[in-house]
Structure 1
Amino acid sequence: ASVTVELGLSVCLSVCLLLSISLLGCLFVTETIPSTQQATKNGDTAVIIAVKRHDPATLRELVRAESDLNLQNQEGLTPLMIAARSWRTDITNILLEGENINLDIQEKGTGWSALHISAETGYSATTVALLKAEANAHLKDKNGDTAVIIAVKSCHPATLRELVRAGSDLNLQNQEGLTPLMIAATSWRTDITNILLEGENINLDIQEKGTGWSALRFSAERGYSATTEALLKAGANAHLKDKVWESTTTLTFSSMSQPSPF
């Protein structure tokens, strides 16, 4: 009888121990994993955490549950912006399946959208997914830079090509008055210039607001002969004058005494 009692007590103690562990586990999960809309101390929702963890299965369930996909954390980042920083295009695509997702929310500090971020990181597949979902390629950040300008500055030819193929406006100027072509002309990366020249309706002769310099003027001043050749073949105006009445032809053979404003 005593053996039976001891066995019964052992079983009861084991069951109580398991229940205690289970209860503690539930409490731990409740404290560390937010509900679909609840945010952590960093402002991260369950959706953001699933994106950061690259957890497609969990993310898909959260999206199906109609979680708010537009909530920003304390950094001003939405789930889509965070996904755009990663090569995991599957994560981006799951988010894009969500109803009422806003593709064009801008980060509070820089004014970058998810498309700006994908242009900067150079993940062309993510850029394609965003463009197909109709992200605004003409949206400007706080410096007036479009996703095209960001791709040019970051020297990401594959991403830039997708933006050009999507019909992005290549003539938009940022707050400095620079177009994507002007910025490309200040670099030795002629491949970047050539991709821009593939775009329809590109204006080769837009002039920077302050100096009146065109893309050809920039390339001539920097001495990038391959870029200069590409611009001339595309029909850039070699006789265009800047605000001090100096033509590109004159500059090419001058002493280069005038410093670049950039």
Structure 2
Amino acid sequence: MASAEDANGKVNLLEDNRIDSGVESFQYFTKDDPYNKPVRDSTSESSEARDKCSSNTEERLDSAYGSSSLTVENFSEIIEGCNISESEDDSAKNTAFEHKENLLTNITEDGDTLLHLAIIHEDEHFAHQLIQMFPKDVLDIQNNLYQTPLHLASYLNLSSVVRDLVESGASLELQDQEGNTPLHMACEQGWVECATEMIRNVSSSKLAPVLESQNWRGLTSLHLATVNRQHRLMKLLMKKGADLNIQEGTSGKTPLHMAVELHDIVSMTLLLNKGADVDVPMFNGCTPLHLAVGRQDAAIANLLCQSGADKMLRNIEDETALDLAGGNDDILALFPFDDIQIQGRSVVRVPF
């Protein structure tokens, strides 16, 4: 069983593709973990070290997260070749229009539009110009990795571009090759401003499917915000109506289960204060209290008990949380004998 201090508390929820991960099944991973795959096929880098326009990259027109595939010179030439001004001469105007249309609708062999490339290179001014010129359908073009311009802007924390895309009608529901929506990307990276721009003016009916959307690991945006200890994002999603008891798709963990496994009292308190169900079971029947006791975490178990957790619920192994205490006196103290009932009547310990 891994410790809570490992690698910023991030979680590998793909363990053995099982849906019945038990009390000891939760794993953490580090950046060096071979199972901690980056969202894209390029090496993940820090925002400071990321060189979006490295001249050492291959001459490919793709758009990997965290890296650039065009040199600065090549991209500058493309921008210079894109004449977006109007000509007074009709023939020249027609020629310029055909040239502009060709550039704006051109798609690379990797599926990227010029807007994808402008965002990759963080040329926000040019990206804003293109957004105003592109019709909505073009804004939602997905490249070969199923990324829209909004996915890339969310990943790169370009909040003004995100705002412009959303105001122009870009879809929030499209998923990339990992099943992530743009909101997933913002929550995973911790970009509060991007997430705010995406959902601030969206009606509840249109936002509901976005908040409920699961990526291919079964995680919603709230799960990702919880796993990454993004408390501001958790508050934002809760305010917009995210389901606090939604279960991820592999083992049925709710955000509260994840917070318990991370020993994250702040996240637990946020969830419980907003009304999260303290007794929701996983697919294997384990409640958050089962997980806390199984990890010998008396402080977390006590918080759950104080929040009204049912101590007598059984998992599919027919175990109560008390059965998992393992002789831990601090945890056993949470289960006084007068909590035990036989035929609905409390059994009180008689002192010798």
TM-score by length of 1: 0.78
SS in 2 for 1:118: helix
- In the alignment, is residue 145 of structure 1 matched against residue 254 of structure 2? no
Give the alignment partner of residue 252 of structure 1, picking from 325, 333, 344.
325
Query: Which has the higher relative contact order, 1 or 2, with Cα contacts under 8 A spaced 6 or more apart?
Result: 2
Instruction: Tell me the residue number matched to 1:239.
Output: 312
State the secondary structure of the residue aligned to 1:41: coil
1:169 aligns with 2:238: no
Correspondences of 1:8-19 after superposition (within 5 Å) = none
Give 2:296's aligned residue: 223
The separation in 2 between residues aligned to 1:128 and 1:237, in whole angstroms, is 36
Higher helix residue share: 1
Aligned partner of residue 43 in structure 1, secondary structure = coil
The structural deviation recorded for 1:159 is 1.6
Distance 1:48 1:225 in 2: 50
- Letter matched to residue 216 of structure 2: K
Q: After the TM superposition, list the runs of 4 or more consecutive aligned residues in structure 1 that deviate by more than 3 angstroms.
A: 28-31
Q: CA deviation at 1:138?
A: 0.9
Q: CA RMSD in A?
A: 2.5
Q: How many residues are matched?
A: 226
User: Greater Rg, structure 1 or structure 2?
Assistant: 1
Deviations 1:76-95 (A, max 9, x none): 11111111112321121111
Tell me if the contact between 1:190 and 1:226 (Cα under 8 Å) persists in the aligned partners. Answer: no
2:161 counterpart residue number: 91
One-letter amino acid of the structure 2 residue matched with residue 54 of structure 1: E
Which stretches in structure 1 are left out of the alignment for 5+ residues?
Answer: 1-24, 256-262
**Post-superposition offset of 1:147:** 0.7
Taking structure 2 as the reference length, the TM-score comes to 0.59
Equivalent-residue separation in structure 2 for 1:128 and 1:225 (angstroms): 36
- Calculate percent identity across the aligned residue pairs: 22
2: CA distance between counterparts of 1:110 and 1:231? 34
Asked if 1:207 is matched to 2:276, the reply is: no
How far 1:133 sits from its partner (Å)? 4.2
Q: Does 1:29 align with 2:81?
A: yes
User: Equivalents in 2 of 1:132, 1:198: separation in Å?
Assistant: 23
Match of 1:178 in 2: 253
Rounded Cα–Cα distance in structure 2 between residues aligned with 1:236 and 1:39: 55
1:55 aligns with 2:123: yes
Query: Which runs of 5 or more residues in structure 2 are unaligned?
Result: 1-76, 83-98, 329-352
Are positions 1:106 and 2:175 aligned together?
yes
Q: Per-residue deviation at 1:196?
A: 1.7
1:117 matches 2:169 = no
Rounded to whole Å, the distance in 2 between the matches of 1:244 and 1:118 is 38
Alpha-carbon distance, 1:110 to partner: 1.5
**Residue equivalent to 1:8:** none
- What secondary structure does 2:212 align onto? coil
AA partner of residue 81 (structure 2): V
Shift of 1:155: 2.2
Cα deviation code 1:170-192 (max 9, x no counterpart): 21112211111111111122212
